[in-house]
Structure 1
Amino acid sequence: MSQSTAANRYAKALFQLAQEHNLLKEVTEDLREVKIAFEETNELFQLLDSPKIETDKKKEMLSELFTSVQPIIVNALKLLVDKKRIHEVVSVIDAFVAQANDAQGVADAVVFSTRTLAEEEKQRISTAFAQKVGKNALHITNEIDASLLGGIRVQIGNQIYDNSVATKLAGLKRELIG
C-alpha cells in the first residue's frame, strides 16, 4: 500500500513518542484495534471528515470512542482531525506498525487454516516461521479458509509457505496426470 509522506511523518512522530514513554508494545497493540475500528466502520471516517461537524465535537467523539487506548493515540487522532488528515489514519497506523515491527524484530503474518488456531498453535507457528524470515517473532492473524481441506498456508509479507492438503493434492494430481 502506498503511503503519503505526511502519513509517514505522523507515524514516525508517534513512534518516537511511544519509544520515549516506553509504550511501544502497548501503542502497537492499541493501534491494531483502532485500525480495525476504522476499517470496519466507514461511517466513522465520514463523521470525522465531515465539514458539517465542528472540530471540537469530532475530538470529543474520538475521546469517547477510544477511552480504552493509550492517550497518545487519542491525541494523535485529534491532531489528524485538526490537520484535516483523518482520512490517512490507516496509512499512519500501517507505517507505525512497520516501524514498530522493525524495532522489535517482529513481522506480521497471516495464517490460513481450516479452523481457528489455539494460542499454543499460533506460538509454535510463530517460533518456526520467524526463524525462516530472520525475525524474533511473528504477529499472527488467523483467517479461516475451508478450501485448504487441512494444513496451513502462512503469508509473511510477500512470501507464502503453503503446507495445505489442497496444494499437496494438486501436486499429486500433476504428477499422476503428467
Structure 2
Amino acid sequence: MQPSKVAQRYAKAFYGLAADQRLTEEITADSAKIGALLDASKAFSDLVTSPTLEAADQRATLSKLFAGQAQPLTVRFLSFLCERDRLDQLADICAAVQVLYNQQQNILPVDLHTARPLAGAQIKEITDRLGKRFGKTIDLSIQEDPSLMGGFMVIAGDEVIDLTVRTQLATIRKNILNA
C-alpha cells in the first residue's frame, strides 16, 4: 500500500534533514523500529493514534520512550508530529522513509514465496539473477507457503514472477478445459 501524500511530504522533509546531518541510515533504522513497534504493540499504537491524549502528554511519553533509543533528530521529529497533530500518519511516514532510503541506495525490496525452505546457494542464485534483471541491490524477504506445491513466486514492486507448481497446474487445467 502506498503511503499517503501527507506522509510522503513529512517523510521527505525528515529524510532531507537527516541527509543534511548524514544520518539517513540511522533515521531509517529508527523508522523501521518505530514501524515494527506500531505493528507489534497495541499500547504504542493506541498512544500514537489516541484522539483523547493531549499533544504534550504524547510528546512527553514519546520523548521518554525513545530517549537514548533513537537519534535525537528522530525524537525531535516525533515531537514535531505531536505539535502538528500528525501522529496518526506515523506508520505511513515510517514506510515512506524506508522507500526514500531504498531509492537513494538503489535497493529493491523483493518478496520470495516458496513451497519449502531453500538452500543458501539457491537463495544466492535467485538474489543474483534478480539483481541483474532489475539492476539493483536486492533486499530479499522469504516466506514459506506449502500451498504453492513447488517452485517459487517473486514479488518485486509491481511485478510478479510466478513459477509455482500450483500456477502451472492451474494453467494446464484451464488449457485442457478450453481445448
Instruction: State the shift of 1:46 in Å.
Output: 2.4
Q: TM-score, normalised by structure 1?
A: 0.79
**1:124–1:22 Cα change, 3 Å:** farther
> Structure 2 length as normaliser, TM-score?
0.79
Q: Structure 1 residues 169 and 49, CA, compared in 2 at 3 Å: closer, same or farther?
A: closer
Task: Specify the alignment match of 1:166 in structure 2.
Answer: 166
Unaligned runs of 5+ in 2: none
Q: For structure 1, which segment, 5-14 or 37-46, has the greater mean C-alpha deviation from structure 2 after superposition?
A: 37-46
Correspondences of 1:10-159 after superposition (within 5 Å): 10-66=10-66, 67-115=68-116, 122-135=123-136, 137-159=137-159
**What amino acid does structure 2 have at the position aligned with 1:167?**
T
Residues 161 and 58 of structure 1, relative CA distance in 2, 3 Å threshold: same
Q: Percent identity?
A: 28
Task: Give, as a single letter, the amino acid of the residue that structure 2 aligns with 1:126.
Answer: T
Moved more, 110-119 or 141-150: 110-119
Aligned length: 177
Which stretch of the first structure deviates more once superposed, 88-97 or 67-76? 67-76
Unmatched 5+ stretches in structure 1: none
What do you get for the CA RMSD once the two structures are aligned?
Answer: 2.8
CA displacement 1:93-148 (0-9 Å, x = unmatched)? 2222222211111112111123466776555433321222232x122222232211
Deviates more, 1:155-164 or 1:38-47: 38-47
Task: Name the amino acid aligned to 1:46.
Answer: D
Further displaced range: 107-116 or 95-104: 107-116
2-structure distance, mates of 1:118, 1:68: 36
Q: CA deviation at 1:65?
A: 3.8
Instruction: Report the AA paired with residue 154 of structure 1.
Output: V
Given residue 114 of structure 1, which amino acid in structure 2 is its aligned partner?
Answer: A
- Residues 1:31 and 1:168: Cα distance change in structure 2 (over 3 Å): same
Q: Which stretch of the first structure deviates more once superposed, 143-152 or 20-29?
A: 20-29
Local SS of the residue matching 1:53:
coil
